[in-house]
Amino acid sequence: MTDQATVAQPGTPEIPGKPTSASRTTLSHIMTQADTNLLGTVHGGVIMKLVDDAAGAVAGRHSGGPAVTASMDEMAFLEPVRVGDLVHVKAQINWTGRTSMEVGVRVLAERWNESTPATQVGSAYLVFAAVDADGRPRRVPPVLPETERDERRYQEAQIRRTHRLARRRAIMELREKRAAEGFED
C-alpha cells in the first residue's frame, strides 16, 4: 500500500482515500463500417475516443465530479480491430496527485468470427485534472491500491509522472534559453 491514505493541505480538511475498484470501468462497443479507415480496419481515432470516454468516466467517478483530459500518452495499437469485433475498454485509476489522476487503459477485442479469448489490441495512459464549476483544478481523493498489481501500476505511474514533468521542464528551459539568445522561433 502507499502512504497516500489521505491528502492533507495546510488549512484544508483531509480527503478520505478511495480504493481502485470503486471507479474501475469497462466500456464495450461493437465496431461498424462507420468506424473504418481506408484499409477497412477500425480507425485509430475511433479507439482513442473510446479510450478517452472510458478513462473520463473513471476520473469522474473517482474524483466525484467533472474531470478534463490533460494529456494522453503511450497510446499503443497492438493489433488491428475489424468490423464486427466487440471491443472492451478497461480503465482504472493508477495514481493520484493533488488535483490530477493517471488512468491506465487496456483495449481488448473479441473477434466476431472466432471463439478465442479476447485479444489485447491497445493500451494508453491518460492524465485527468479534476475541475470545479469554473474549470479550476480541485483536489482529488488519494487512490488506495488494493492488489500487488494495483501497487505496481501506482509505482510505474509515478515514474511516468516524473518523466513528464522533467521533459516539460527541459523543453521550457530550452525555449527560454533560445529566446534569450535572440532566436524568434
CB of 98 to ligand COA, least distance (A): 4
CB of 49 to ligand COA, least distance (A): 12
User: CB nearest ligand COA: which residue?
Assistant: 97
Query: What are the residues binding ligand COA (CB under 6 A)?
Result: 68-71, 97-100, 127, 129, 131, 135, 137, 164
CB of 99 to ligand COA, least distance (A): 3
User: What count of Cα atoms within 13 Å lies in the side-chain half-sphere of residue 92?
Assistant: 20
Place of cell 490530477: 100
Using the minimum distance from each CB to ligand COA, give the nearer residue, 46 or 101.
101
Helices H / strands E in the chain, number of each: 2, 9
Helix/strand/coil for 122: strand
Q: In 10 A of CB 128, how many CB atoms?
A: 27
Using the minimum distance from each CB to ligand COA, give the nearer residue, 87 or 127.
127
User: What count of Cα atoms within 13 Å lies in the side-chain half-sphere of residue 137?
Assistant: 12
Using the minimum distance from each CB to ligand COA, give the nearer residue, 112 or 163.
163
The answer to whether 109 and 118 have CB atoms below 8 angstroms apart is: yes
Using the minimum distance from each CB to ligand COA, give the nearer residue, 97 or 141.
97
Using the minimum distance from each CB to ligand COA, give the nearer residue, 20 or 63.
63
CB of 100 to ligand COA, least distance (A): 3
CB of 88 to ligand COA, least distance (A): 22
Q: CA Rg, the chain, in Å?
A: 19
- Please return the burial class of 76, using the count of CB atoms within 10 Å of its CB with bins 0-12, 13-18 and 19+: exposed
